[in-house]
Amino acid sequence: MSTLDANGLSLGYDRFGDAGDEAVLLISGLGVQRLRWADSFCERLAAQGFHVIRFDNRDAGESTHLSSAPVPDFAALVAALNAGRVPAVPYTLYDLASDAVGLLDGLGVSRAHVVGRSMGGMVAQLLASTHALRMRSLVSIMSSTGHPGLPATAPDVMAMLMRPAPDPCVDEAGFLAHGVAFARRIAGSGFPFDEAAHRAVLQAELIRTQGSGGMARQIAAIAATGSLRPLLARVVAPTLVVHGSDDAMIPPGCGRNTADHVAGAEFLLVEGMGHEVPAALHDQLVHAITTNARRRAC
């Protein structure tokens, strides 16, 4: 376990490859840990000549959990947004972007290729919009701009996401079954579902979890940040947007919308991919990330 202090927080991270190579920063999604960027994926990317860095966002894994902050009241959050007010939340995605910059600073990395998935894709878009000089390239995977009116999460998926999981300290088997069922629902139809692999990741995340309420605070951060679309005109880094045709969590129209608002962006729709990065896609995604990294900036 490696940790680094940034913005008053401790961030857990791992590195793969030669620190002298160009850096690739991998940003994780909502409520999950850096382990979702599988070791095999990171190793394949490092083999292409990159210094790969994956880390836990605040409120996840081995990074600082803001457990003393209140769990957001979602009814009050929605009411504030509907009234046109900025809700009071512990932090926004801007803070997560600042954490990423702080991590790069602490590791002595001046510029990086930034790859984000789901919520991490939104953080990556923010980095490209507000910290352009730190960016070599941008890849946003299965993500969104959060703009109003975009295709919504499938209702049953949203219900599963918001349904409390069993307490793993009391019912670990129930907790794992809950997590595997959700993973199965959001997986795509084009690739085999590896239940054993999903169960192993969930168990590994349990060992590293240090607090509670983190996912709720991250959901509130997304809601309070609002639409990123007005910022995307500032993006000058070579940009690739990747989305799965079967994504029921963040439908592919959301990814298309991101690509449509970044000058020169390329859009890759992966048939049969859902809201995950299955092992069968590692080589294809590594190739796509590497190709984008070699493009000239606009």
For the chain (length 298 residues), average pLDDT per consecutive 10?
92 97 98 97 98 98 92 79 82 97 98 98 98 97 97 95 90 96 97 95 90 89 94 97 98 98 98 97 98 79
CA distance 64 to 210: 8
Report d(CA 12, CA 64) in Å as an integer: 8
pLDDT at 211: 73
Orientation of helix 214-225 relative to helix 93-106, angle to 10° = 110
DSSP string across 179-216: HHHHHHHHS-SSS---HHHHHHHHHHHHHH---SSHHH
Q: What CA–CA distance (Å, rounded) separates 241 from 266?
A: 6
pTM (two decimals): 0.96
- What is the reported pLDDT for 210? 74
CA angle in degrees (0–180, nearest 5) for 285-291-296: 145
Taking the C-alpha atoms of residue 127 and residue 123, their distance in angstroms, rounded to an integer, is 6
Structural domains in the chain plus CATH codes:
2-152+212-293 (3.40.50.1820)
Bridge partners of residue 16, in order along the sequence: 52
Residue 121, pLDDT score? 98
Q: Tell me the C-alpha distance between 52 and 25, whole Å.
A: 6
